Amino acid sequence: METAVFKFEHDMPVRNYPAPRWTGDEYRALERAAELIRNGELVAFPTETVYGLGGNALDPEAAGKIYAAKGRPSDNPLIVHIADCFEFYRLCSEVPDEAMVLAETFWPGPLTMVLPKSFKVPDVTTGGLGTVAIRMPNSAVAYELIQLSGVPIAAPSANLSGRPSPTRGDHCVRDLDGRIPMILWGEDCKVGIESTIVDLTEETPAILRPGIITPTAISKALGREVIIDPALLVNHKPYGVADGDGLLLEGEKDAPAPRAPGMKYRHYAPKAPMTIFQGEPDDVRRRIETEKAKAEAEGLTAGVILFSDDAFEEAARNLFADLRKMDDEGVDRIFAGALKQSDERGFAVMNRMLKSAGYNVIDV
């Protein structure tokens, strides 16, 4: 299949509307992409978190194509992207007040809500679950695409299954060229890790996937306690996790399966073996230098991922791109410095870094 790749000069957060002045070419590309979506085809598009691989969320065949293009297991449900809160009433059988509160506080933005699904959402989209995950992304290109399509767009991250999520247009081209009819190449993703997922279908709201919107921020917006899916904490032990305002953050040794089916997969695996070093920042830096020199003495090449202390947002923005760069350079070993997990954003980035490294952590 021939893949049309269109590069945008204009993309921006939706919050900065009035809309950018699209050039004629840009607008025509958006119209073409929307037509593809309406016809049940797939289009990769930018969001502020990671690029998405989109299809009509209400069309079971289109949703099926997404799993096929990514090589993704079909029990792993898709996130449905919307551009207007009215969509709640099309997609959900029930809309709790708290969903509206979170939408007003964080949307458009990197937060996904899990809600009871309506009969209009096909089972393929939700991997057979009775709930649906919904998000309003903060990218003008994504916003226009959803608006012009006239349908909610189901979109997982636009990587091949098992590769790091794409945060730059060229990552999508690399993974999906020849597999889908169109790629919209917008800005580099400003957040860089996938959205926070909060489940609002149980008695107490629960974080199913950590992200840059923190449990504390969600708890403050709702004015009540929020729990973290215990399955998320298991592999972070004994490294300690955040202890924000009144949140339940105690890890359990034998946690049940994660409540977001996708969180059980290994994900993000770079090709080279990866080791995370954890400890005082200066000790970690020295240890990584030593390990790198040792590897090089053995004739191996080594890549280093080391963010400045407390630069959590920068780490989120660059982690996946750095991992992909190391794959492209074909390094033999990857050495990374752990981020402080007592910070909730540090915890979110570490969730991805630990998976990339297959939980291979050394205390220094």
The interface mask with ligand TXA, positions 55-94, x = CB under 6 A, is: ---------------------xxxx---------------
Q: Is there binding between residue 50 and ligand TXA (CB under 6 A)?
A: yes
Q: Is there binding between residue 37 and ligand TXA (CB under 6 A)?
A: no
Whether the CB-CB separation of 210 and 258 falls below 8 Å is answered with: no
Q: Is there binding between residue 212 and ligand TXA (CB under 6 A)?
A: no
Q: With CB under 6 A as the rule, give the number of residues binding ligand TXA.
A: 30
d(CA 364, CA 355): 20
Q: Is there binding between residue 219 and ligand TXA (CB under 6 A)?
A: no
Q: State in angstroms the smallest separation of the CB of 221 from Mg ion.
A: 25
Q: Is there binding between residue 208 and ligand TXA (CB under 6 A)?
A: yes
Q: State in angstroms the smallest separation of the CB of 23 from ligand TXA.
A: 25
Give the residue, chosen from 126, 131, 157, 201, that forms a contact with Mg ion under the rule CB under 5 A.
157
Of 54 and 346, CB closest to ligand TXA:
54
User: What would you measure as the largest C-alpha separation in the chain, in angstroms?
Assistant: 62
d(CA 324, CA 313): 18
Q: Which does 260 bind (CB under 5 to 8 A by kind): Mg ion, ligand TXA, none?
A: ligand TXA
DSSP 44-94: EE--SSS-EEEEETT-HHHHHHHHHHHT--TTSPPEEE-SSTTHHHHHBS-
Of 85 and 129, CB closest to ligand TXA:
129
Q: Which of residues 165-204 bind ligand TXA (CB under 6 A)?
A: 194-195, 197
Of 157 and 341, CB closest to Mg ion:
157
Q: Which does 114 bind (CB under 5 to 8 A by kind): Mg ion, ligand TXA, none?
A: ligand TXA
Q: Could you give phi then psi for residue 91, rounded to 5 degrees? A: -95, -20
Q: Is there binding between residue 135 and ligand TXA (CB under 6 A)?
A: yes
Closest CA to 211 of 237, 191, 227, 241: 191
Task: Choose one: 155-163, 169-177, 213-221, 345-353; the region binding Mg ion (CB under 5 A).
Answer: 155-163
Q: Is there binding between residue 49 and ligand TXA (CB under 6 A)?
A: yes
Q: Which residues pair with 248 in a beta bridge?
A: 227
Give the residue, chosen from 14, 30, 47, 207, that forms a contact with ligand TXA under the rule CB under 6 A.
47
Handedness of CA 220, 225, 231, 233 (dihedral sign): positive
Type of residue numbered 245: D
Residue 229 DSSP symbol: -
Q: State in angstroms the smallest separation of the CB of 107 from ligand TXA.
A: 12
Tokens 């998000």 -> residue: 135
Q: Is there binding between residue 147 and ligand TXA (CB under 6 A)?
A: no
Q: Is there binding between residue 248 and ligand TXA (CB under 6 A)?
A: no
Q: Which of residues 260-279 bind ligand TXA (CB under 6 A)?
A: 260-263
Give residue 108's Cα distance to chain centre.
15
Q: Which does 196 bind (CB under 5 to 8 A by kind): ligand TXA, Mg ion, none?
A: none
- Per-residue b or e along 102-129, where b marks 16 or more CB atoms closer than 10 Å to that residue's CB: bbeebbbbbbbbbbbbeeebbebbbbeb
Q: Is there binding between residue 49 and Mg ion (CB under 5 A)?
A: no
> Cis omega (within 30 of 0) on the bond before 108?
yes
Q: Is there binding between residue 155 and ligand TXA (CB under 6 A)?
A: yes
Q: What angle do CA 76, 94, 141 make, to 5 degrees?
A: 60
d(CA 172, CA 167): 8
Of 266 and 294, CB closest to Mg ion:
266
Q: What angle do CA 276, 226, 196 make, to 5 degrees?
A: 50
Q: Could you give phi then psi for residue 114, rounded to 5 degrees? A: -100, 125
Which positions touch Mg ion (CB under 5 A)? 157
Which positions touch ligand TXA (CB under 6 A)? 47, 49-50, 52, 76-79, 112, 114, 126, 129, 131-133, 135, 137, 155-157, 194-195, 197, 208-209, 259-263
